[in-house]
Each structure stands twice: as C-alpha cells, then as structure tokens.
Amino acid sequence: MFFEEDRIRAVREMILAEDVTAREAALAKLGPVQRQDFVEIFRAMKGLPVTIRLLDPPLHEFLPTEAAQIDELAELLHVTPARLNARIAELHEFNPMLGHRGCRLAVTYPEIYAMQIRAILEAAAAVVDEGERVIPEIMIPLAMTRAELVRMRQIVDDVAAKVFADREPVPFAFGTMIELPRAALRAPDLASVSEFFSFGTNDLTQCTMGLSRDDAGRFLPAYVESGILAKDPFVTIDVDGVGALVRLATERARASKPGLKVGVCGEHGGDPESIRFFHSVALDYVSCSPFRVTIARLAAAQAAVAAKGAHAGAKTA
C-alpha cells in the first residue's frame, strides 16, 4: 500500500530533483496513487462529468519552513539540511500567486502534467472496463495565452496516444480556467483550443482589483463599512469590474465558438447574489464548497424562475 507519508515523500523528491531523469523517477512513484485516486472519483460520480484541475499551487507550498521540519525532512530524504534549505531558497517567490504555478509549471516541467494526464486517462479506461460511463474533463489552470494551451494540449494528446494505443479511446474534454484579466480579454483565442471554460473568480478578483485574498481582510471591512465597496468582493462578485470581464469573455468566446460550456469554480459559486449575476450571463453551471450546495441550488432555481417571469412579462407587454 502507498501510505500518505510515502506520497508526500515522492512529491518532495520530485521537487528536489536535479534533472528530468530524477524528477520522472519520483513521478513514477506518484502515478499509480494518482491513478487510484481518479479511479475512486470516477466510480463515485457514476457517469457524471468530472472536472480535474491539473497541478496549480507553486511547488514551495509542498516544502516545510520551520527548522525542525526541515531537519526531519532532510533525514527522510537522505539529503543534508543545507541542500534542502538551498532548494527552498531557490523556490522562494515574493508573490507566488502570480509566479511559478499553474500551467507555468508544465512549461518548465512538462513531465508533471504528463504524469497527471496519464493517471486520469488510465483511470478512466479502467472504470470504463468495469462497465461504467466516465466523462473526464481536463482543466488547465492559469492560462493567459493560446500558445500555453496549445502546448498543454500537445502534452495531453501525446499521453493519450500512448494510453489508448492498444484500446478504444475514452472521450475526454480539454478546457481551461479563466483567472487572469488577459485570459478574459483574449477569450476567443483560448476558446479556439478549449471545449470548456471555468472562471476562477477568486484569482480573477485578486488580479482585477489588485487585492490579496490573504491580506485584504485587514482593510476590506473598512471599505464595506464606509460604502466604498458595497460588498466584500471575495464573497459577492464585483459585477461592475470582475463581472464585466466574465460577461465580456463569455460573449466573445461563444461568438467564436457557439455552445462553449462555461461555468464558475470558487466560492462565488455558492453566493446567491453572485449566482443571480452568473445566470444573467447565461453560464452553464456554478460550483462551490459542498456545504454551500443547497444554498446554491436554491439561488439558481430562484434566478431561473425570476428570469422566466421577466421574460413572460416582457412578452405580455
């Protein structure tokens, strides 16, 4: 059995790897456990679509920062604390949420995404062989250019060709998160190589408004109390700014690719006021934390009823 400690060790071995060969050796340990994770997810979903976002966090988040933890990990990995500290220093970023994360990791380390994609597709094939329907959706985080998605799609296609070389392929969708203002403004470019969009409204809010979700809590209450902002933009979407980008991107993308599936992932997907806005933009779905699903369903139903009533009233008039 692949214990959680072994999984963590393999992740950290991958991060500490000096070259592609060492990195692929660590990834080979992670591949089977990732595949089993996806097998269990596909089984649980019983034929419903499963959207899987590929690795998004910056690599430094997987390494410790306290001296005692660094010493313990160094012993576990059979490296010196100095070597580990050097790698931690190499990975340090002043603003990691705008740094080496998301698909940028796969531009420099394509083997990481290749491992995840293989795990997804092999898991899908295994569950299909059990007689179940599987609908995988592979989602690329933090893309801002068509060129990034073209490169990511090539990784996906190369892996798929190997996985399905001797068997019937399992259909899957390829899409991206829209988290950056440039991605929203260039939505038709990204739509040309995507089957779906999912707005990551948390990061889109950070980047559009210049607010850090981790730090803005120190002053945002004063903005709301004084009326500068009507609501906390991380709770209820900023319709005039962030929302305008969501609407613009959706309209432009669907103008170039009619029928493009578009939705939202993030906490805004569980906020009733935000859901009403997303309905007005004609998004296909919202997603949110499990404990907010009931509220989200009610808000979505109310938005649909209200829109239907307004449409009927307009026809009568």
Q: Which residue has the tokens 């019983």?
A: 46
154 burial (CB, 10 Å; 0-12 / 13-18 / 19+) is exposed
State the average pLDDT for the chain.
92
pTM: 0.91
pLDDT tens digits, one per residue of 136-193: 999 999 999 999 999 999 999 999 999 999 999 999 999 999 999 999 999 999 999 9
Class of 179-317 per CATH? alpha beta
Of 218, 229, 183, the closest CA to residue 204 belongs to: 183
Check residue 94 and give its pLDDT: 86
pLDDT tens digits, one per residue of 213-250: 889 999 999 999 999 999 999 999 999 999 999 999 99
- Sketch the domain layout of the chain as residue ranges: 179-317
Check residue 192 and give its pLDDT: 98
Which is higher by pLDDT, 262 or 91?
262
Check residue 8 and give its pLDDT: 75
104 burial (CB, 10 Å; 0-12 / 13-18 / 19+) is middle
Residue 9 has pLDDT above 80, yes or no: no
**Chain-centre distance for alpha carbon 31:** 19
Check residue 316 and give its pLDDT: 54
C-alpha to C-alpha distance for 162 and 13, rounded to whole angstroms: 26
Query: What six digits make up the tokens of 96?
Result: 């990691």
**All residues at 6 or more sequence positions from 164 whose CB lies less than 8 Å from its CB, including other chains:** 121, 125, 170
